[in-house]
Structure 1
Amino acid sequence: MKRNRTCLKILRYRKHHPFVFYFMILYLGGIFIYILIFHLWFADYSKPMPLNEVGDFLAGVFAPIAFLFLYLGYVQQGKELQQNTQALNLQVEELKNSVEQQKELVDATREEIDLSREEINHQRKIQQIQVQPFFHFKNFIVTDDPEEKSSLLISFTFYNSRATCRDLVLTVVKEARVDYTRIRNHIENPKFYLSSFDVVLGQSEQEYSIPSKRLPANFSVDKIYMQNLELKFEYVDFFGEQHVRSYTWYVRPALEDGKYEVGQLRPVI
């Protein structure tokens, strides 16, 4: 078994290194023939060769083989170093590819997180809108007070078409024209309490009426310029959070005695 294994190794070596194999065969065969010829025709057995000459002979015979294997070892080491370098380059490329893939994965994950965050924020906004009331107005009327000509009477009806709210407080604020003296002195615009409701049902057309309310004298409308009135709805929503929603109405000078033209400008959240 060992003999067969040795033969297989020799055959494998001859296949992979034919130059070295045949060189060694020719070289060792030449040395064997040289020694055989020397012993048959030139050797003098009466005078044996000194040991130092035998050592010099053997050193001279095997020195080329030693240098050959030294050279082969150097070449083999160079090939191994080259293979190691190639392997390291491949590892570097794999690491670069891995880094790129990780970077792409991180970017994809970040985009997914951003999309999820946007979707969550969008859902929150929708939910926040859905739990807020939406007020509609009817018969918004402003007239002069027949008893006090310097005062105004305001009345209107509203209903809520979206979410139920509670603790609703209605106030009206007169939006005065720009007055730098009032701004400098931090004087607020006139404000007047209208009414309050414990609960205002949503998703229904149940109407809530504000009967004629007399506004203070400082709410009087200029007979020349248009005046704005801001209705403020302070309420608590489904989640128990306090909110204020404002609606601005313009009031133009009376076209007839005691009557004013009114209209809604825009909601201010």
Structure 2
Amino acid sequence: MTDSPLRRSIGWYRIPILIVAVLTCLLFYLPFLVVVATSWTGTSYIIFPPEGFSLQSYIGVLGDVEWMDAFKISLRVAGIGTVIAVLLGTLGALALTRLRSRAARRWIRTLFIVPMAIPPVAYAVGLYSVSLRATALQDNLGLLILGEALLAVPYVFVMVSSGLSQADPALRPVASTLGAGWPMIVWRVDLPMIAGHMLAGAVFAFAVIFDEVVLSVFLTPVGVKTLPLQMLTASQEELSPQLTAASTLVSMAAVLLLGGYSLFSSRRAARARRLSRKAATV
């Protein structure tokens, strides 16, 4: 059997590269497996290897009002923040395609991506200073939601921009020639082309916002905790199996979310390939 071009190009180096890749995967997944294992322990404290097998820590988390309230708050913040991030990121990407100056597009693209490189602590301190001056924002989640959404905007912007770059540039001029105004072009031409990329951006934005803890430390009102903040507090007060159980539940939810999107995306791509083959045979 003929070797693949990749195997021929790498040569004998593929063996150490494979070993390094496997070790890297182990370093990434082993801590997670330890967390999962300690959540099953029958003791009231974290120990590895676990002693016995019990789901009492999961029952404790799901039946604890404090944990569930934190989960609901995180779900609300992530949901609203994702909607805002998708709206702003998509509008920014669409607006960028209508700029004729390459220099302006380059600078604006940089401004949209820069928040990914800003230290979250510096960003959180700045927003906290704003909340001290705006007393109306101190007793609700508005500033936290807005701050989390702005952190997630670059992810949506990059995803949607990628989709727009793959679109046929002749579609917009053709639609304009046929008499469509820019709102109709956006609604009937742009949005259908980038719907999948908007969904991908929404998935990443939701994951980023739901897991973010730094802004929660500074911007949550007194007596209110998001789930990451509740986990941080639990790790500082008492290392109980409830902490590892909550971590496992959040990790599994993230896996299901990303796995569901991956399955949806693969089916959507397969359907697009079938339609293109069918159109080619007509």
Q: TM-score, normalised by structure 2?
A: 0.23
The structure whose Rg is larger is 1
